[in-house]
Chain A
Amino acid sequence: MRARGFKRGGVPVDHRAPFKTGPIENAFLPMNAIVQLREHRCAVEPIPVVSVGQEVREGQLLARSAGKASSNVHSPIPGIVRRIETTRTSGGFDSKAILVSLEGSFSMLGKRPERYLWKSLNKADISHIVQDKGIVRVSSGEPLYEILSERSDAPGFVMVVSALEMDPYRRTEEELLALRAEDVVDGCAIAARMALPARIMFAVDERIEPATLEPLRELAARSELDIAIQPFRRRFPQDLPGQIAEAMDIADPGTLFIIEPSTLVALHEAVVSNKPHIEQYVYVGGGSIKRPAILKARIGAPIGDLIEECGGFSGHPETIVIGGPFRGRAAADLDAPVTRTTRAVLALSPEETKSAPERPCVRCGDCVDACPEGLSPYRLLKLLRSGRPDDALAAGLGRCSSCGSCSYACRSRIPLVRYFDEARQNEVRR
């Protein structure tokens, strides 16, 4: 099938860092897990239901969802609650965090997972489980039950299972399609029972291995769902509704619901194995990591532990990024914990970051070409710097999706997207 792609803006990503595929290993259990309660800047903070000194089991509820965009939080390890305090997250906002130190025995680890036959469950049952187990959409941190129930109010949408990796490093979603295709398709069926999509589309890389694609195609054909598989060109950002809609010639991006295989796997485990969202597939890589790998890590594990498990650093890393190289944020230190939205930890070498001081804008217009939304980032920045945020909003600041293409394209090394994010936070505060 012909590969599709969006026409305007973005960054081509042809180069890919080499990666040795293989079964995904469990990361070591952290001695201390720091569990962040909020996954999202706009989320209401969940209310802790444990107190300091209390003993908790693996998977026990730590905090209860308390409103919009907040989700239940469970203990990733058995242990003692040591501290409950507010910290600054790597996403740049404040959140309460619960520190659990490892103690006692495991109730899930090493045991054969239970397997419930979910087909007998109805929509309300499944919705309840998803809410109860605190499953969040890995790409955005929004609670899955919330977005799925919103979708079920307006049926006729297209569910896009996006296994697109748009940077030179990450492979998690592709690997999950290769290794856990059955669970992903089963997860699709569960999500489809909660919110009836008109059809389901798997968005895959145009250069995906045939060995991954063939079994997936078979599974899709065998399932009772209307699943199509659509290859996409490797271009960043390919995971936004606007860009996928443009590539597919769909008029209204609002009819697209985008979910990634890792979220579907978490959903599947919650419904079939009764497992809360306490694990996360994290790609650890970048030029300064000795052995890049995908690890199945517990939430709250410090990223330094993961890096150590991948052989540690080779050479001195210039920066450590949580998330992707375009959108990600620099980690403050190696103690930053894995959250339910941590998809990658990249230790980038100086050759990769080619870091240089910020220089004045030369008005070359590269950012205009790179912007997938068709904005003029240099102009927005000029308006913001001259103290005219309202004019910047009128010029389209609100349409910015924070993809970071402009910052990447900028030859004067101006971190445009950071200024835009800051400006919009101030706007929200106002």
Chain B
Amino acid sequence: MFQKQPMMRRVLYALAPITAFAIWLYGPRVLATLAVSLGVGVLVEYLFEKRRGGKVSEAVLVTGTLFALSMPPAAPLWIVAIGIAFAVFMAKEVYGGFGRNVFNPAIAGRLFVYISFAGALGGSFFEPGGFGAAAGSLFGRPDALSAATPLAMMRSGGSVPTIDLLLGARSGAIGESSVALIAAAAVYLIATKTAQWRLVLSTLLGGALVAVGLYVAGVARALPPESLLAGSFLFVAVFMATDPVSAPKKKPAQWAYGLLIGAAVIVIRSFSLFPEGTSFALLLGNTFASLFERVAADAAKRKAAKAAPATAGEAKP
């Protein structure tokens, strides 16, 4: 039923340790979220591809996993189902399926539910550790919880120990906590040429430059530089910004794309109503990707035309 896509499989391998760690943080409920996300995602894609006569791509498994990992740990499962259905349907299949979408589906779905159900999701964070001990029951929706995420704390002027940020012992979305595991996944993905290092590096660089710049300039609302480790910035830089379908391909365009995303994350985090800006930033980057690509291609074409007016006739028989 599935198309074989080795590249997507490698992303799944890279996500496996992160998922395992998330189960330790938040308990078996993570598996329920994941099951709903994957099940509904595959179902929606299957319904579409059946009509079109195509096969379900393995990419939908990546989309489903990434979407599940970007949900708050206690997110209601019906919201998860709506989000992933929106992601696969509106952000992927209506564009014509795999390889034709403009926006990253997982991010589009995540942003859709974050805006639509801001209250329900905003209160779905809880303290990590001990297989979701803080949630009380194992599977049931934990009541009376909601822990402030590090980003929210920093915004209100509080400080968060950097060591907690590094180890991942902080509340947040399911898969975004562990800096070490995400970094390891990045190394694996880049080493196997699944992810483009330029995209990861430029995104991180863009974020770091703006964050440090704002902090050093003493802007009132600037977050401390360690806020780069909080929220889903790293997760997005490694897994979403490198999505080959929605990212540009030319080298200069990739630099511009990453820098834009990184910079936009920090600007939105610092100055907007939302505590987290990664989803907006990524969709912004997706929007500009084809423009960057075009500018880069035109520049290359001008250069080629200037350098070699005679090649065209020579090279082709």
Contacts and interface: CB of A to CB of B under 8 A. Distances in A.
B312 A399 contact: yes
A428 B59 CA distance: 39
Interface in B292-310: 293, 297, 300-301, 303-304, 307-310
Nearest to B5: A359
Contacts of A251: 307
Interface string A325-366: 000000000000000000000000000000001011111111
A251 B8 CA distance: 43
B314 A41 contact: no
A361 to B, nearest CB: 5
Interface stretch (A44-52, A168-176, A307-315, A370-378): A370-378
B70 interface: no
Contact of A401 (B4, B57, B244, B315): B315
A365 B249 contact: yes
B314 A241 contact: yes
> Which of B251, B310, B314 has most A Cβ within 10 Å?
B314
Contacts of A374: 300-301, 303-304
Nearest to A377: B249
Contact of B314 (A253, A368, A376, A411): A253
A362 B316 contact: no
B99 A364 contact: no
Nearest to B199: A365
B317 A40 contact: yes
A368 B5 contact: no
B244 A365 contact: yes
Interface residues of B, number: 37
B62 to A, nearest CB: 11
Contact of A362 (B99, B301, B310, B317): B99
Contacts of B3: 359-360
B311 to A, nearest CB: 5
B249 A242 contact: no
Contacts of B314: 241-242, 253-254
A241 to B, nearest CB: 5
A376 B6 contact: no
Interface in B1-41: 3-8
B300 A254 contact: no
A24 interface: no
Interface string B271-307: 0000000000000000000000100010011011001
A142 B317 CA distance: 9
A245 interface: yes
Interface string A231-261: 0000000001110010000011110000000
A140 interface: yes
A41 B99 contact: no
B196 interface: yes
Contacts of B303: 374
Contacts of A363: 99, 244-245, 249
> Which of B196, B244, B245 has most A Cβ within 10 Å?
B244
Given A241-B311, A252-B308, A365 B196 contact: yes
A364 B303 CA distance: 24
Nearest to B101: A363
B2 to A, nearest CB: 11
A92 interface: no
A131 to B, nearest CB: 20
B312 A361 contact: no
Chain A contact patch, size range: 35 or more
Nearest to B242: A364
B250 interface: yes
Contacts of B301: 374, 396
B98 interface: yes
A376 B297 contact: yes
A254 B310 CA distance: 6
Nearest to B254: A365
Nearest to B250: A368
B163 to A, nearest CB: 37
Contacts of B313: 254
Contacts of B59: 362
Given A245-B308, A252-B308, A362 B5 contact: yes
A42 interface: yes
B307 A411 contact: no
Interface string A273-306: 0000000000000000000000000000000000
Contacts of A254: 308, 310-311, 313-314
Contacts of B315: 240-242, 399, 401
Contacts of A359: 3-5
Interface string A378-420: 1000000000000000011011111000000001000000000
A368 B249 CA distance: 7
A119 B279 CA distance: 76
> Which of A240, A363, A395 has most B Cβ within 10 Å?
A363
Contacts of A378: 249
Contacts of B193: 366, 411
28 contacts: A140-B317, A241-B315, A242-B308, A242-B315, A253-B311, A254-B310, A360-B57, A360-B99, A362-B99, A362-B245, A363-B244, A364-B7, A364-B244, A364-B249, A365-B250, A368-B249, A368-B250, A374-B300, A374-B301, A374-B304, A376-B250, A378-B249, A398-B312, A399-B304, A399-B311, A399-B315, A400-B316, A424-B316
Instruction: State the 5 A-B residue pairs at the shortest beta-carbon distance, nearest first.
Output: A365-B249, A254-B310, A364-B244, A368-B249, A401-B315
Interface of B: 3-8, 57, 59, 98-99, 193, 196, 244-245, 247-251, 254, 293, 297, 300-301, 303-304, 307-317
